[in-house]
Structure 1
Amino acid sequence: MTRALMTRRMAAAVLATGLLLAGCSSGDGQPEPTGSATDVSSESPSSTEPTTAAPGPTPWPEPTRPTAMERDDIEGAKAAAEYFLALYPYVYATGDLEEWQAMSHPECQFCAAVADDVSELHSSGGYGVGGEIVVAEMGALPPDGEYTHFRVGVRGTESASSSFSADGEPLASAKGGEVNYTIAVLAEDGWTIRGLATEEQ
């Protein structure tokens, strides 16, 4: 499965479970977002799709773990979701899955699909660039009688991304754009991601 197709396919699989979206409406079907735009990547590489073969992997700084993740409330859940989104371009660029897997719940299909895709890409010498997320709005709902997880709603923009082979030849690309995410975040032995659904605008 290529990176260009993975996000859409996994979104459909996660949405089909009904895990995230049912019962978390704040009037418009999503947790009510609050706040202003935030770039959740550590830096902002160019979001323009390469037109020629890339020269090789570009170093990508590891995202900083937010101090708010020490909390076990809504603010902690939002910080955990934002950190997880920041890890997405990092794991594709570097192949370093340690933090990603530490935060991935065993039943998170999206988390496992990304880990498999990254492992396959990097095991053959490939790499990815782009895919950083700028958060425009974020809101969250706490666990209740039906859900044991926090439901974090994110509206933002994902930059263009591409995957390359070991010799720098393009393998796949995605144009990016505006997205809505709903992320199920569990407070169990630290923060873990139970699932993620995405709807492209």
Structure 2
Amino acid sequence: MPAAALLLAALTACSPGTTTPPAATTAATSQAPAETATPSAEPTDSATAPPERPDAMSTPSADGASAAANYFMSTYSYMYATGDTEPWDELSSDTCEFCARRATDVERMTDAGNETLGDAITVESAVGVEIADDEWFSATLIIDEPASQEVDEKGKLVSESDGGRYELYFALSWNAGWRVEEVDVSAAPGS
């Protein structure tokens, strides 16, 4: 199954109530949402270029949360294009079901000798919110995922996706670095 279809299938299967930490539902927002006017991880010419961590990821803040979510989606494109799950795994919490399913799918794809063809995901907007001081955060991204294809070793089409625009909601934590606790997805408003 191509990356786009897997993203939608995996994210729509996530229930936001099951993975959001309890503090996120009871704590007041400690600062106004921070919107990244220009996403911190610029699209590359190819999804096969290793993503670079934005400087904004070095702090536990709303800006840091949006940068971390944006970078995470760069690692998604990179992982599907190359089969290298290391950058994805570095940010994935052990309890993130979405994260584990995506890494498992990439392993399945590479074990079969298949590859994904398509351009990298583009982040249209990224907004971070600090939920509990220096500990729990959320981020909402609007992404555009181009059409993609999964092909086997001989170039034969295994599956394809038309792509689309999606709204992704991230639950993130900070403990001397970012962890993606869970991700939920829906069609982007106006799509």
Indicate whether the TM-score tops 0.5.
yes
What is the identity, as a one-letter code, of the residue corresponding to 1:166?
Answer: E
User: For residues 3-14 of structure 1, what are the structure 2 equivalents within 5 Å?
Assistant: 3=3, 5-14=5-14
1:124 paired to 2:125:
no
Q: Which residue of 2 aligns with 1:43?
A: 44
Q: Is the 8 A contact 2:125 2:141 kept in 1?
A: yes
Gaps of 5+ in 1: 25-30, 46-58
Q: Which residue of 2 aligns with 1:56?
A: none
Q: How far 1:111 moved relative to its partner?
A: 0.6
Q: How far 1:153 moved relative to its partner?
A: 0.8
What is the identity, as a one-letter code, of the residue corresponding to 2:153?
Answer: A
Q: Is the 8 A contact 1:4 1:172 kept in 2?
A: no
1:99 aligned residue (87, 96, 118):
87
What is the identity, as a one-letter code, of the residue corresponding to 1:144?
Answer: A
* Structure-2-length-normalised TM-score: 0.81
User: Relative to structure 1, is the Cα distance of residues 44 and 199 closer, same or farther in structure 2, using a 3 angstrom cutoff?
Assistant: farther
Alpha-carbon distance in 2 for matches of 1:194, 1:175: 28
Q: Is the 8 A contact 2:3 2:80 kept in 1?
A: no
Q: Which residue of 2 aligns with 1:53?
A: none
Gaps of 5+ in 2: 27-31
Q: What is the count of residue pairs matched by the alignment?
A: 179
Q: Which residue of 2 aligns with 1:168?
A: 155
User: For residues 2-151 of structure 1, what are the structure 2 equivalents within 5 Å?
Assistant: 3=3, 5-15=5-15, 17-19=17-19, 34-36=35-37, 38=39, 40=41, 42-45=43-46, 60-130=48-118, 132-144=120-132, 149-151=136-138
What is the identity, as a one-letter code, of the residue corresponding to 1:68?
Answer: A
What is the identity, as a one-letter code, of the residue corresponding to 2:109?
Answer: L
Q: Which structure has more helix as a fraction of its residues? A: 2
